Structure 1
Amino acid sequence: MPEASSLRDLLRIRQANAGRLRRIPGYLGSAVGYKYHEDSDTFARDEDGAFIPAVLVFVRRKRPLDSIPPAERVPERLKGPKRLSCVTDVVTGALPAEAPEPRPFTAANRRLLRELHEDEMPWTGGMPIASRFGTGTAACVVRRGRTLGFLTNWHVAGFPGSRIVRPSPRLSLAGWTARADLYAKHTRSKRDLESYIDRKTTRHRLDAAFIPFAKYIRKRDTHSGVHGLGPLGKPWCPDLDTMEPIGTRVVGVGQKLGLQRGAIAAYGYEWRIDPEDEVFHVTDYLILGEGRQPFAAAGDSGKLVVTDDEDRRPIALLWGGQRQGFWSAEAQESWAYASRIDTVLKQLKLEIVR
């Protein structure tokens, strides 16, 4: 029986077993990636030293196996189409009772945060923004045709026509929301997550918005890239026939936590917002903060996530952090949530200014 060796294989297996997984008591969703080593931040390896592709099953708390009735246990292995199979990994989705103490900001990060809130700061990625719907972060400067603007989240920018400002140190008009999409549109492309979810029961969260700059903001007042990270490379489109996004080191700058590092922990996470509703939601990436520190906090929504190397390739648009606070608590809350940047740019018809 062939073993799963790519994200596509794992997504097919997860899809074939969706009903079975969703009936597990305490189920907080599932994703695909590599098996972890005994609840640590490192991947487990097989006898040949290779990482082990797996379907990750999130539960609130782990219990001793002998205390769980056989019918309620997460299967050790799952079978899918074309005789594919893979192992599972049970992951604790609730935050630990004793979370690590937040690290104090470094001097460089404190300086970066001060700069993001200064009058002299150009209109650029990482700057604070706000609307009547909430506060967040501008991802980066983007272009739609000849129109310059910036990218952020739907839940920050609100509906088309909403007024967006830069709130500090003094209130400045940024523009008005022109396009805002909460969900990804259905596509038949085999390159996308859309092909491996049940559209009747699952919604693919995008959470993205485009805000053209107000007329008084000239091109010379803007700056490409993300403050503190420099110029950006070519956006990354993951290849589902590999495992390449998993484990990729990433970095982002938000107006609340400044510069934070982490890694892509999993792909295709699905969860249920309302326990009384049969509708599930799915997002592209889960991101684990370095040293189990938060990768994002309230106010960082909308920040751009890029590869933590000299190329600085945009990989995702962050829309939710740890302690996400879904009202039903039916989701994992240890890792941050993000949408694929290539999907965002394609749907909103945008191009990153580099």
Structure 2
Amino acid sequence: MATSPDYDAIILGAGAAGLMCAAVAGQRGRKILLVDHAEQAGKKILISGGGRCNFTNVHIAADRYLSANPHFAKSALGRYTAQDFIALVDSYGIAWHEKTLGQLFCDGSAKQIVEMLLDECDKGRVDLSLGRAVTAVEHADGRYRVSLDGRAVTAPALVIATGGPSIPKMGATGFAYDLARQFGLKVVEPRPALVPLTLGGDEILFRELSGVAADVVATAGKTKFREAALFTHRGLSGPAILQASSYWRNGQPIGIDFLPDRDSGWLPAAKRTTPRTTLRKLLANTLPDRLAETLSDRLGMANEISTLTDRKLQDAERALSHWQFTPNGSEGYAKAEVTAGGISTAELSSQTMQAKRVPMLYAVGEAVDVTGWLGGYNFQWAWSSGWAAGQVL
């Protein structure tokens, strides 16, 4: 087997975290090889945000990330911030805009972010090896030996930046976890996150509302999100549901407040002011007609509200603000934007992303058990964790 020149570090995965890590380390004078089995760098970046890349969020904070160790993300996020990445974007003259809830998108195309990162890698003289499958990784005598389609490369440091298995059609796999386990690192059980949920059984009729959306508060456990929920032909989606899905576990209900702006007692009050109206008409003032009809039918309240007792109206209020769906599953990795779980943070230094028990082995980005909210949080984790490792390679 032919062996190529040695490197200071080999980074596996040319996604957001890998590109950032390579650029930072390369510009510090390290000789870096960045490897990906895909023919193109940054494939997930290119499809993100509808092709405009929601590259960060102005409200980045560690409590907006899920992890077995909720404090782990603080160090990297605090040292390489959203403002730092925005400054990089600005230095390339890439125009961007802020959308709802602090989400930042390119005015143009996500390609601009990939090109920027590749240019940063060029500045660091990073060697890029695309379309090359990793067939083996070994560690002996203080060096990592990576076999790439029959050619071996070696380095004293190795970075796992291959992400998680979400969006397999983009080539995503669980390779990071296999590699981590090979080196004795614990893996927190991976699961799809930011993913649509499916409904079955008695709730299947809500699928008939496919395409209907409403502004709601969705609750999973103790965590609440106020955004749009969307009914689909398979169940529930939309930003509020995607957010809640990361906190949801099989068998748990998802709570929906369909009327988050209504004060308690609004229905008995409506009975006094507009007694001839129906619940469906009242709901249709706020919610889409089809949803208003379905909810009033489910509550068995087709009559004028003047015929209903205040107790019955209060019960309806409670049901509408604490509606419970019990999903029978999710749409899985195929539709998940990210993967929750991953390489255990207990195995890594929060300062450097280096494994505590394996010399010069690092893990960054989505491969690690740190999962952000929807809206640029996961990209910022990629930039911050990649930067943190790049500083010490």
Give the shorter-chain TM-score range.
under 0.3
**Structure of greater Rg:** 2
TM-score scaled to structure 1, two decimals? Answer: 0.24
Greater strand fraction, Structure 1 or Structure 2: 1
TM-score scaled to structure 2, two decimals? Answer: 0.22
Larger RCO (CA under 8 A, 6+ residues apart): 2
